[in-house]
Structure 1
Amino acid sequence: MNSAAETEIRQLIDTWMQAVRDRDLDGIAAPYAEDIVAFDAIKELQFKGKAAYRAHWEMCMGFCTGPMIFECAELTVHADGDLGVAHWLNRCGPSDDENRCGFMRATVAYRRRAGQWQVIHEHWSAPFDMETQKALFDLKP
């Protein structure tokens, strides 16, 4: 375990979360490696490359145009050497309509290159009901 690395990753996550709340696309994309592979819960099966994933985030910002909730719960970070992983539950949605807010799951893999942590893989998901084929956004930790 490397507590300094874990602290650096936690700070990176805090900065990134604020960039999402601020709708700062450059700040959102900043920690992504050029060769990121992302599995987002919306639209595509996968996104390959920083430019493709940044464009996806830009599209996502159009769904929530007013004040937004984007909160991290139960954050866990592990880091050893130049690799790290974090997972958390993320509550997101419009702050003016609590009924449209829900929890998703995030798992993010980091690699340190030239002293900087980069996101090499990001995975967002929501549990779903097998019978109805509907996502279960109303579950709570």
Structure 2
Amino acid sequence: MDKADNPILQVLDDYKAAVFAKSVDSLVALYDQDVSVFDMWGVWSYTGVASWREMVVTWFDSLGTERVIVDFSDTQTTVVQDLGVVHTFVTYKAVNAEGVDLRSLDNRMSLTLRRKGDAWKIIHEHTSSPIDFDTTKAIFKR
């Protein structure tokens, strides 16, 4: 299925481009004003796009000259009228200014999107990684 048949795939492509460009405005524009985000890192949840924007600014600022390449795999989508759901595996790979791989981690991601006019906006995002039973540490490699 391509982006013409499935607008959710375009949202994922826009997500990848915004993260690589470290464009706060482009990434935040993918989210609804009333978004609810269950992120893996440090905060239990973010409510509203202003709260999410603060996290994105902090993330991108922490990268310095590094960039992040995002790759989605095994993406499954369902679109019914004005509601879309996606679950996917996502790899975040940090690269230096010369494009050399520095580190990476894998997450599981679920998104719920709602169409508003001609645009699809993320109304809920949930990222996670499984926890190892023996060590109680997150597993960051699929």
TM-score by length of 1: 0.87
Which stretches in structure 2 are left out of the alignment for 5+ residues? none
Q: CA deviation at 1:63?
A: 3.8
Q: Give CA deviations for 1:36-57 in whole Å, capped at 9, x if unaligned.
A: 0000001111100001011111
Q: Which runs of 4+ in 1 moved over 4 A?
A: 3-6, 96-99
Equivalent in the alignment of 1:25: 24
Equivalent in the alignment of 1:108: 111
Equivalent in the alignment of 2:48: 49
RMSD: 2.1
Distance in 1 of aligned mates of 2:85 and 2:141: 26
Distance in 2 of aligned mates of 1:93 and 1:130: 26
Which stretches in structure 1 are left out of the alignment for 5+ residues? none
* Total equivalences in the alignment: 137
Identity of aligned residues (%): 27
Inter-CA distance 61–12: structure 2 relative to 1 (3 Å threshold): same
Distance in 2 of aligned mates of 1:135 and 1:98: 22
Contact 2:3-2:9 within 8 A present in 1 as well: no
TM-score by length of 2: 0.86
Q: Are 2:65 and 1:40 aligned?
A: no
Residue aligned with 2:17, SS: helix
Q: CA deviation at 1:6?
A: 5.5
Q: Give CA deviations for 1:77-123 in whole Å, capped at 9, x if unaligned.
A: 11001100011111113125757312111100001122321110001
Residue aligned with 1:138, SS: coil
Q: Give CA deviations for 1:15-71 in whole Å, capped at 9, x if unaligned.
A: 121101110000000021111000000111110000101111111223433132211
Distance in 2 of aligned mates of 1:90 and 1:7: 19
Contact 2:19-2:69 within 8 A present in 1 as well: no
Distance in 1 of aligned mates of 2:124 and 2:89: 17
